[in-house]
Structures are given as structure tokens and as C-alpha cells.
């Protein structure tokens, strides 16, 4: 069918221009513009590399709207913070050393490092950039020229394919849209003498020749048409060989060009302009005060607080502030030195002075006679630091009726006694006759 139609158009006496002329002219021009445009983009990207500038394809959008995904930023080496300040800077990402990032330097930190930020980000990047990690300062930008690479990296194969196809089709159509005399594939013409053809065309006398690209299979159908202009068989064969060679060469060149273009674009380094945002909950604090034992005890509002850190035979001071001192009361028929050893160190490691007293024999410290007696309490709390030794025993603290010293059973009543029994047990008991007592041994 098609062949028949073509035959009609190719009537030798019909001097109409070849059927492709307008459309092909238009397509060819578009194709040329497109190819020149792509080639120009590549040239602009590649040529600055001669001066040591480097192109970077932007892969993400944190520099929008100034720099979009797929733009190529061409940067020249620069490590001067003063110059970089305020400018788009390409640097090695301090958080991902294998990646390159393109952000703007917004200020210089006190330590001389660069604080960077994406124009579209709400806050500065969380890690500052060392000046020696800077690859360069943005000098030139080619809008969208890196899109094919972005498509390749992000798997947008359809776009990439369409781009490749557009290049291929452009190349094809440009190859087709040539001056008529360039059509060496015409089987009816001897293509050896292009100059002769040109002369023919220039005189405008030559009949328009069919310009149909012809496959060998179609040749026999064409042959009746071609019969009026026979060509020597050898010459024709020779011509076919040359044509085939030319075609193959052209195809190879075309494919190499497309491959080269794609290859060059894929080989360009990429830079991230990463979106990022930070939120902070600031200045959380944890504080340990200077824990002081005296303060802690007094925080409990004790009735009285004897530290027993005296070094001489003076009344035991009340540290609670209630002025309820104690009296060092000697054991019967003994000296003070026999009853007490004062200034025993190592009681409380954090308390200063760090002193205690060893109570021996039947000696004790009882509340001074100046201290009014108190009524029996339903609840009492006793805190005492004691250090027992093997075999030592005795009362630690308790209520007794006389204020005059160690109680003997005949001497009065006693109650709420905390005492240790010499085997490591601490007991708490109440009057009378030990009806209730608790073992406090931990």
C-alpha cells in the first residue's frame, strides 16, 4: 500500500518538492535547536572544569526556590570564610562524609567553622562545617541541566527514556533533513559524484529524484520505476557498499554521541541540598545540691539533735536550734576518761567535723536538767548512728524518768528503748516488762 502511494508521488515528471520538505524542515530545525541546546548545556557544564571549577547536580530541594532539583551548580574552589559568608557553598557533609551538600553560609561560628542553612529550611544545619571541607563557592548555575542524572539516580526511568528518545529522534530527523543532493542512499543515483549532482541542482534542471529510504527488500518493487535510469551493475554494487558503510558509520557516530551525552551527564558529581528542620527543648537541667547531714536532720525538725562531737567535757550541744543540750554523765565511780572517749573520727564521712564519741561502762549522755521533760508520745522517730563492736551492748536511746543518769531498775521507769544486744541485733521495746519489742536487725 505504502509503496504504491510513494510510487504515485514519485512520478518522474512530477516536479513537486519531496513530501518531507515542510514538516521535515520544521522537525529538523526543532531537532537541531534541541541538540544544540543539550550540547550547549553540556559545554557550559564541562568547559569551566578547564579552570578548575566543578559542576554539581543538585539532588534535593532545600535551596528552593533559588536552586531547584536538577540544577547544576558550578563551583570554584574557595576557602575564605569572609568570601563564603552569605553565598551558596558546596561542601563535604560533616554528617555524611561521603556526600556533598550545597547550602548557604549564614554566619561564621566562634570557632571559625561555617554555619550553613538551606534557603528553604527553617533552621540552620545542626553541624557546622570546617573550612577545609568546603569544595567551592557557587559561581554558575545551569537550570535543570542535571535532570537526566537526577532521573537516573531516583529511578525515574520513563523521564530518562523520554529524554534519550528525544535526543535519538532529534538526531534521526536532523540526519534526514538534509539538502536533497546529500541523499546518497538513493538507489537510482550514482552517488559517487556529489559535485556533479550539486551542479545539476544548481541549474535546477535535474528531475527530482525519489528520496525514499529504501531497504534491500523494497528494491525489486522499485526497480520498474528505476528502469528508465539504469546504472551499471558493478557501479551500483560498489555504490551500495559505500552507502552501507556510510550509513553504518553515521549510525555508529549517532549512537556514540547519544551514549557520550548520557555518559557525561551520569558522570557528573551530585550534591545534596538537603531538607532539614530542627526543634529544641532547651536548657534542661539536673542539679545535685551539697547534701549536708546536719541540714538533712534539721529538715526533719527534730526535738533535739546531739552530734556528740565535743572534744572536752562540756554539755553536748543541741544542733537542732532548740537548745536542749545533754550532759555527759559518768559511770559510777569512774573518771571521765574511763567513761568516754571523745573525738573518735570516721563517724560520717561527709560531715565536718567528722567526730563521734565512744560510750563505755554505764556512762551516758542524758538531757540536761534544764530541759523540761516531755510527755509520752504516741509516735516517735529516733535516728542514731551507732557503730557496734563484737560483744558490746547497751541502750542507745530512750526515755527514762530521772534526768540524772543511767537508770537502774530500782531507780524509776523507762520506755521506748532502742538498744543493741551485742550480737548485732538492734531492738526497740516499750515498757513494761518487755511486753512488746521488735528486732530492728536489717
Partner 1 sequence: MSRTDQRRRRVLRAVAPVAGLLAVGLLVWQGSYAAFSATTNNTGDSWATGALTLQNDAGTGTYAGSTSAVFTETALKPGSTNSKCITVAAGGTTGGTLKFYRGAVTGTNNPAALSAQLTTTIQATAVLAAVPSPAVGVNCANFPAVGISTITAAGATLSSLPSTYAAGLGSFVVPAGARWVTYKITYTFTSTGSSAGDNALQSSDAAADLNWEIQ
41 Rama sector, left if φ>0, alpha if ψ -120 to 50, beta otherwise: alpha
- Report the site for partner 1 in 37-76 (rule: CB under 8 A): 37-41, 43-44, 61-67, 71, 73
Q: Kindly state whether residue 8 participates in binding partner 1, applying the rule CB under 8 A.
A: no
Nearest residue (CB) to partner 1, 60 versus 214: 60
The Cα–Cα gap between 340 and 358 comes to: 6
Residues near partner 1 (CB under 8 A), total:
77
Least Å distance, CB 17 to partner 1, is: 5
One character per residue 217-256, x = contact with partner 1 (rule: CB under 8 A) = ----------------------------------------
Q: Please, what's the b/e burial string for 16-29 (b: 16 or more CB within 10 A of its CB; e: otherwise)?
A: eeeeeeeebeebbe
Q: Pick from 3, 9, 12, 25: which binds partner 1 (CB under 8 A)?
A: 25
- Report the site for partner 1 in 140-169 (rule: CB under 8 A): 140-145
- Report the site for partner 1 in 112-141 (rule: CB under 8 A): 117-123, 126-127, 138-141
Q: Kindly state whether residue 298 participates in binding partner 1, applying the rule CB under 8 A.
A: no
Residue 309 contacts residue 355 (beta carbons within 8 Å):
yes
The Cα–Cα gap between 142 and 128 comes to: 28
Quote the Cα angle for 44-46-50, to 5°.
Answer: 110
122 Rama sector, left if φ>0, alpha if ψ -120 to 50, beta otherwise: alpha
Enumerate residues 6+ apart whose C-beta is below 8 A from 321: 298
One character per residue 321-350, x = contact with partner 1 (rule: CB under 8 A) = ----------------------------xx
Nearest residue (CB) to partner 1, 63 versus 150: 63
Nearest residue (CB) to partner 1, 94 versus 326: 94
- For residue 145, give the C-alpha cell: 541541566
Nearest residue (CB) to partner 1, 67 versus 226: 67
The HSE-up count of residue 372 (CA atoms within 13 Å, CB side) is 4
The Cα–Cα gap between 418 and 440 comes to: 9
The Cα–Cα gap between 215 and 185 comes to: 10
Q: Pick from 203, 205, 282, 381: which binds partner 1 (CB under 8 A)?
A: 282
Enumerate residues 6+ apart whose C-beta is below 8 A from 18: 180, 208, 211
Q: Pick from 287, 335, 433, 435: which binds partner 1 (CB under 8 A)?
A: 287
Q: DSSP secondary-structure letter at 429? A: E
- For residue 159, give the C-alpha cell: 523521564
Nearest residue (CB) to partner 1, 141 versus 357: 141
Residue 325 contacts residue 317 (beta carbons within 8 Å):
yes
Q: Which stretch binds partner 1 (CB under 8 A): 157-165, 252-260, 276-284, 332-340?
A: 276-284
Q: Pick from 9, 11, 12, 36: which binds partner 1 (CB under 8 A)?
A: 36
Least Å distance, CB 375 to partner 1, is: 35
Q: Which residues on adjacent β-strands are paired with residue 55?
A: 74
Stretch (H or E) spanning 315: none
Q: Pick from 110, 132, 220, 286: which binds partner 1 (CB under 8 A)?
A: 286
- Report the site for partner 1 in 367-426 (rule: CB under 8 A): none
Q: Kindly state whether residue 95 participates in binding partner 1, applying the rule CB under 8 A.
A: yes
- Report the site for partner 1 in 306-325 (rule: CB under 8 A): none
Nearest residue (CB) to partner 1, 80 versus 241: 80
Amino acid at each position: 500500500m505504502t509503496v504504491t502511494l510513494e510510487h504515485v508521488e514519485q512520478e518522474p515528471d512530477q516536479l513537486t518538492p519531496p513530501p518531507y520538505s515542510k514538516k521535515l524542515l520544521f522537525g529538523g530545525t526543532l531537532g537541531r535547536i534541541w541538540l544544540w541546546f543539550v550540547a550547549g548545556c553540556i559545554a557550559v557544564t564541562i568547559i569551566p572544569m578547564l579552570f578548575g571549577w566543578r559542576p554539581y547536580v543538585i539532588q534535593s530541594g532545600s535551596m528552593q526556590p533559588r536552586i531547584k532539583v536538577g540544577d547544576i551548580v558550578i563551583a570554584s574552589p574557595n576557602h575564605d570564610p569572609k568570601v563564603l559568608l552569605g553565598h551558596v557553598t558546596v561542601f563535604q557533609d560533616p554528617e555524611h562524609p561521603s556526600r556533598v551538600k550545597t547550602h548557604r553560609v549564614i554566619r561564621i561560628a566562634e570557632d571559625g567553622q561555617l554555619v550553613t542553612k538551606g534557603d528553604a529550611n527553617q533552621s540552620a544545619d545542626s553541624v557546622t562545617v570546617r573550612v577545609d571541607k568546603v569544595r567551592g563557592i557557587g559561581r554558575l548555575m545551569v537550570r535543570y541541566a542535571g535532570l537526566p542524572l537526577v532521573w537516573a539516580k531516583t529511578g525515574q526511568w520513563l523521564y530518562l527514556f523520554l529524554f534519550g528518545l528525544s535526543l535519538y529522534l532529534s538526531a534521526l530527523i536532523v540526519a534526514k533533513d538534509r539538502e536533497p543532493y546529500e541523499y546518497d542512499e538513493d538507489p537510482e543515483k550514482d552517488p559517487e559524484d556529489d559535485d556533479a549532482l550539486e551542479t545539476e541542482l544548481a541549474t535546477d534542471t535535474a528531475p527530482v529524484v525519489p528520496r525514499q529510504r529504501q531497504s534491500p527488500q523494497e528494491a525489486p518493487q522499485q526497480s520498474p520505476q528505476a528502469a528508465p535510469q539504469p546504472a551499471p551493475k558493478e557501479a551500483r554494487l560498489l555504490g551500495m557498499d559505500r552507502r552501507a558503510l556510510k550509513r553504518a558509520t553515521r549510525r555508529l557516530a549517532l549512537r556514540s554521541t547519544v551514549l557520550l551525552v548520557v555518559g557525561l551527564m551520569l558522570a557528573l558529581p551530585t550534591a545534596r541540598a538537603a531538607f532539614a528542620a530542627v526543634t529544641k527543648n532547651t536548657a534542661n537541667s539536673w542539679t545535685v545540691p551539697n547534701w549536708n547531714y546536719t541540714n538533712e536532720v534539721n529538715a526533719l525538725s527534730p526535738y533535739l539533735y546531739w552530734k556528740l562531737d565535743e572534744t572536752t567535757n562540756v554539755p553536748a550541744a543541741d544542733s537542732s536550734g532548740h537548745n536542749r543540750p545533754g550532759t555527759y554523765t559518768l559511770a559510777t565511780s569512774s573518771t571521765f576518761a574511763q567513761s568516754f572517749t571523745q573525738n573518735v573520727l570516721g563517724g560520717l564521712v561527709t560531715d565536718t567535723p567528722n567526730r563521734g564519741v565512744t560510750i563505755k561502762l554505764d556512762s551516758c549522755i542524758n538531757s540536761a536538767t534544764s530541759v523540761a521533760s516531755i510527755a509520752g508520745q504516741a509516735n516517735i522517730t529516733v535516728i542514731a548512728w551507732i557503730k557496734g563492736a563484737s560483744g558490746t551492748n547497751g541502750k542507745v536511746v530512750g526515755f527514762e524518768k530521772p534526768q540524772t543518769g543511767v537508770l537502774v531498775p530500782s531507780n524509776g521507769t523507762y520506755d521506748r528503748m532502742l538498744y543493741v544486744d551485742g550480737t548485732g541485733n538492734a531492738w526497740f521495746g516499750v515498757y513494761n516488762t518487755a511486753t512488746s519489742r521488735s528486732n530492728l536487725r536489717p
